[in-house]
Amino acid sequence: MSKELSDVIGRVLPAPEHHLNAEKLEQARKARRSFMGKALAMGAGAAASAAAATRAVAAEGEDAILKLPAHTTGLGQGVTTDGYGKPSKWEANLQRRESPGLTRVQQASVSFTPLQGLFGIITPNGLHFERHHQGWWDIDPSKHRLMINGLVKRERVFTMDDLMRLPSVSRIHFIECGANSAPEWGNVALPAVQYTHGMLSCCEYTGVLLSTLLEMCGYDKKKGKHVLAEGADGSSMTRTIDIERAMDDCIVAWAMNGEMLRPENGYPLRLVVPGIQGVSWVKYLRRLEVGDMKWAAKDEAIHYIDHMPDGTHRQYTGIQECKSVITTPSGSQTLLDKGFYNVTGLAWSGRGSIKRVDVSTDGGRNWRTARLEGPVLPKALTRFNIDWVWDGKPAILQSRAIDSTGYVQPKINQLRAVRGTRSIYHQNAIQSWKVAENGEVSNVQVY
Ligand SMILES: Nc1nc2c(c(=O)[nH]1)N[C@H]1C(S)=C(S)[C@@H](COP(=O)(O)O)O[C@H]1N2
Ligand SMILES: [Mo]
């Protein structure tokens, strides 16, 4: 980083409900006001006053670097062998949360990933979003079975041990609930990216390719056109997958991010359907049936359909189209001073890999191309970063992703022109975050 850049670097105050209690938030705001006050009193120009504010922070910090706190002089704690390792206590507010925009019936059925607090592309297992149609279970793997039946030469029932002996693959893919960002259809401005986009996660999955299992069972290559996947929970979750997709990149997975699946995410077995909405990623997978027609199960005939402007319904619209969102700065965060910011976010496409991400800081009038951080993988989240110097004036931050098919992420009004406003699913429009003069970031729509 250049000297100039280090002089003007800004600070982001994380979203209050995620990291800080109200008292700390007020302290930080007061501190900000007093820095800005000092800087303005010096009568300096914008950059100079930001630099002065930054030096005020640095000067405060020097005291801390000169002191020797107990952790530099004492004996630290011994190794942690009592149970599963945990994050730092200072990170305790980074959690999955219930959305303020959803009413719960008996118990909450969705928890959202705190995208604003994550780095890179992998979602830690303890922060993976959850969506349960009928609650989750911790199923005994020694009793769990997977049956493959229908249009196959050899119907089979597998134990977990049988499955885990087979040739396995490990691949990184995103999972996004089809209803992610749904409130934006009706311009319900949820306050933070955790709630607007947090039904989205990305993990490395390990399991046996569905194609390996179908070949083993001798599926009917002439008549077998579809595969039905069924879960072992009370939701009767059944979903149809086309045979081409089933034979392409679907995984019958037992692990995520190097360890066995978490119970919330389908332990001990789930289907991974890369690029397709979360509902097809059947958890607690217990049966796969090869058939010659689509099943039109309840979760594909009544739910997970798109209401079109002409009154018709679209069915089997599983693909998650190209989409992106800026995760910092994002709604409910506060920019503490003018100056340099690393604007960062995520982009993904159910049809392939991300080719380019453009970022605008003026509501879509001007665009600059962001840096894509590697690895850029198909049907996986891609991290992007771009430099920005905030001049302290109101700004609107947006990102626009383009995938390997050339598809460009639409504006909300472009999407509404085709899809109307009564949909729930597949809302992939450009997200806008407004930065106010006082540094507060909020969710707005730009047409
Ligand atoms: N058996 C079963 N599979 C399921 C569900 C469920 O309720 N039961 N929910 C589906 C939905 S709608 C989504 S978005 C994803 C959520 O996966 P996650 O809870 O691991 O995030 O699982 C899908 N698979
Ligand atoms: Mo979902």
CA-CA distances (angstroms) from residue 39 to 46, 56, 189, 432?
A: 9, 9, 34, 30
Third-level CATH fold of 323-444: Immunoglobulin-like (2.60.40)
Using one digit for the tens of pLDDT, what is the confidence trace for 91-128? Answer: 999 999 999 888 888 888 999 999 999 999 999 999 99
Tokens of 85: 């390792």
Pairing between β-strand 285-291 and β-strand 156-159 as defined by DSSP bridges: unpaired
Are the C-beta atoms of 344 and 384 separated by less than 8 Å? yes
Q: Tell me which ligand sits closest to the C-alpha of residue 178.
A: 2
Using one digit for the tens of pLDDT, what is the confidence trace for 348-378? Answer: 999 999 999 999 999 999 999 999 999 999 9
Class level of CATH domain 110-314: alpha beta
**Considering the chain, what percentage of its residues have pLDDT values greater than 90?**
80
Helix residue ranges per DSSP H, 280-335 = 298-301
In this predicted structure, what is the pLDDT of residue 12? 86
For residue 417, report the distance from its CA to the centre of ligand 1, in Å: 30
Residues 6+ apart with CB under 8 A from 337: 10, 11, 32, 35, 36, 50, 53, 54, 439
For each successive 10 residues of the chain (447 residues), what is the average pLDDT? 60 66 55 43 36 49 80 93 94 94 86 97 98 97 98 98 98 98 93 97 98 98 98 94 98 98 98 98 98 95 92 93 98 96 98 98 98 97 98 98 98 95 95 98 96
CA-CA distances (angstroms) from residue 47 to 37, 122, 130, 208, 331?
A: 14, 36, 44, 56, 25
Where do the domains of the chain lie?
3-66, 110-314, 323-444
User: Probe ligand 1: pick from 111, 133, 197, max atoms within 8 Å of CB?
Assistant: 133
In this predicted structure, what is the pLDDT of residue 63? 74
In this predicted structure, what is the pLDDT of residue 103? 81
The Cα 285–Cα 87 span in angstroms is 30
Cβ atoms within 10 A of the Cβ of 371, count?
Answer: 11
Q: Is the CB of 416 under 6 A from ligand 1?
A: no
In this predicted structure, what is the pLDDT of residue 37? 40
Q: Is the CB of 279 under 6 A from ligand 1?
A: yes
Q: Is 140 exposed, middle or buried (0-12, 13-18, 19+ CB in 10 A)?
A: exposed
For residue 129, report the distance from its CA to the centre of ligand 1, in Å: 10
Pairing between β-strand 285-291 and β-strand 145-150 as defined by DSSP bridges: parallel
